[in-house]
Each structure stands twice: as structure tokens, then as C-alpha cells.
Amino acid sequence: MNQKITINTLKEMKEEGIKIACLTSYDACFAKLQDKAGVDLLLVGDSLGMVLQGDDNTLKVTISDMIYHSRLVSGVTQRAIIVSDMPFMSYSTPAQALGNAARLVSEGGAHVVKIEGGDELSQTVRLITQHGIPVCGHLGLTPQSIHQIGGFGVQAVSNKAAKELEKDALSLQEAGASCLVLECVPSSTAASVTKLLDIPVIGIGAGIYCDGQVLVLHDMLGLTPKQPKFSKNFLSGNDSIFDAIEEYVNQVKNNSFPTPSNSYE
Ligand code: KIV
């Protein structure tokens, strides 16, 4: 598929059962390779606080950082859709969220903005989307709440928590979200949410049944000292970074990644 990817394309891919291959992207050099290798969605993630800036979490990332990195990625990308994270405390009120989302689009070149949280954000999602900016939700492990969650572990494990997650996901969809990232939740829970929603669900550590997969680029290139269980080193066995990224895209598309060993039950 060589056509430019939009939120409509993502929805059609869900409807047609075509898996959506996504990776984080932070600069022009890698973005060019990723776009050429067929990655459908480039996520300018606030994980750049850990991956590029060397922090233990994402909390020091600023809106200026996100605009800067979004601009580097959007400047060279021809096909993939670009989703940019709104960083910690940049969307604490609907009005603040709208102002910062607008900057990510107009200054950074983002096509979609991503925010972490559930039903409590429905007013914010509604306001941003009413102004013509698509929103991606993010549920499960939400790294901006790391101090409240208490660690980077698997989420929504109990039946009650899984039901809450479903409610939050429906509420985001109802408010106008165009897609949803589900991070570190049991495969069965992710499968139920994916079936429940009309919008595409992109998993990371959420099993094979999501509509698409996302990984942190530096994890899947084996550059992170401790590889998370849900990731895989695609550079190992490949001769180049381009080949590694292309293999990731192929494995997502033909359902050979993730395996049960990259997932939680
Ligand atoms: O910031 C990020 O890279 C993310 C992914 C882990 C989904 O939000």
C-alpha cells in the first residue's frame, strides 16, 4: 500500500483485517528509513525522554521537545501517519490541551496527538477533535502516571480492572478518539477491547489480537540495555537497520509478531 496513510486508512485496515505496523520515531534519519520500509504509523513518543535524553521516565519531556522531534520526523515522511505524544502536564485542562495539540500540528507537523488516560479525558478529546485535530488515546500502562502506578508492570489484570479499561476505551471512542494505544495488558483483555471498539487498537505488550503493533525503535534494534519481554531484537540476524525494520513490518503484517512469549496472559 503506497498511498499516504490517514486516520481513514487506519480504520479501513481494521475493517479489512490488515495489521497496522507502527514504531516510535524521533529524528529524520530513522524516519526516512522507517517510512521507506513500510511502517504505517510513526509515533513521536515521549519515550524520547528515556531513549534519547537518558532519564528513568518520561516526566521531564516538554512540549518544545515534542514539537522539535515531531518536526524532524514530519519533515521527511511521505507515507506514514505521524502521531505525536502530548507530554506530561501539557493537557491538564481542555483549553491547555487544545493549545498544545494545535502547536504539535502547526509547528511540529503531527497528524494526530496522543494523550494518556480514560473517561476523565473525554471533554478534552471532544474539544480537540471538534477543532479538527485527531486524537489517539493511550490506556493500560500509562507511563506519565508512573509514580501513581508504582512501576512499569502489566495492567488490567483483575476482571474489575479489565472492565474499567473497556469502559474507558468506549468513553474515548465516544468522545471522538480516532485510535487507541493499549500498553502492557493481558492478551485476552486487549482482544476484548479490540473487538468492542470500531477504532483501531494498537498494542504494545498487549498480544497478537490488536489491530496493530507498536514498539520503541531503540528496543527493536537491540540498543536498549534491557530488552522488555514484549519487544524483540529485529537487528539480530539482519544485515542492516532497514532490513530489521522491514522484517518487523512483515512479521506484524503476517501475524508472526508478537508471539505468546512477547505477551502477557
Ligand atoms: O512514548 C512512547 O513511545 C509510547 C509507546 C510506548 C506506545 O507511548
The burial of 121, by beta-carbon neighbours within 10 Å (0-12 exposed, 13-18 middle, 19 or more buried), is given as buried
- Strand-pairing partners, residue 22, are 41, 214
Q: Which CATH class is domain 7-262?
A: alpha beta
Strand partners, 112: 83
The sign one gets for the Cα dihedral 62, 117, 99, 114 is positive
C-alpha cell at 255: 501475524
Mean pLDDT of all residues in the chain? 97
CA of 206 to the centre of ligand 1 (A): 13
Q: Residue 225: its pLDDT value, please?
A: 86
The catalytically annotated residue of 12, 120, 166, 183 is 183
Residue with CA closest to ligand 1 atom 8: 45
End-to-end CA distance of the chain: 33
Of the candidates 197, 152, 190, 204, the residue with the CA atom closest to the CA atom of residue 174: 197
C-beta 24 within 6 A of ligand 1: yes
pLDDT digits (tens, 9 = 90+) for 14-62: 999 999 999 999 999 999 999 999 999 999 999 999 999 999 999 999 9
Q: Which atom of ligand 1 is nearest to the CA of 143?
A: 8
Q: Quick check: CB of 213 below 6 Å from ligand 1?
A: no
60-85 tens-digit pLDDT: 999 999 999 999 999 999 999 999 99
pLDDT of residue 226: 86
Kindly state the average pLDDT of the residues 195-204: 98
Count of all residues that appear for the chain in the document: 265
Q: Calculate helix-pair angle for 159-175, 122-130, nearest 10 degrees.
A: 20
CA distance 178 to 137: 8
Express as a percent the part of the chain with pLDDT over 70: 100
117: DSSP letter: B
Whether 183 is a known active-site residue: answer yes
Please, which pLDDT band fits residue 151 given cuts at 50, 70 and 90? confident
CA-to-CA separations, 164 to 139, 152, 202, in angstroms, rounded: 11, 19, 18
- Could you tell me if the CB of 181 is within 6 A of ligand 1? yes
Continuous segment of H or E residues that includes residue 42: strand 41-44
**Whole-Å CA distances, 133 to 73, 119, 129, 165, 201:** 18, 19, 5, 24, 18
Our mutation pick for probing the ligand 1 site, out of 20, 47, 90, counting the most ligand atoms within 8 A of Cβ, is 47
**pLDDT tops 80 at residue 1:** no
Give pLDDT tens digits for 214-239: 999 999 999 998 889 999 999 999 99
65 CB-near residues (< 8 Å, 6+ apart): 48, 49, 53, 87
Asked if residues 170 and 196 have their Cβ atoms less than 8 Å apart, the reply is yes
Average pLDDT over residues 120-136: 98
Distance 214 CA to ligand 1 centre (A): 8
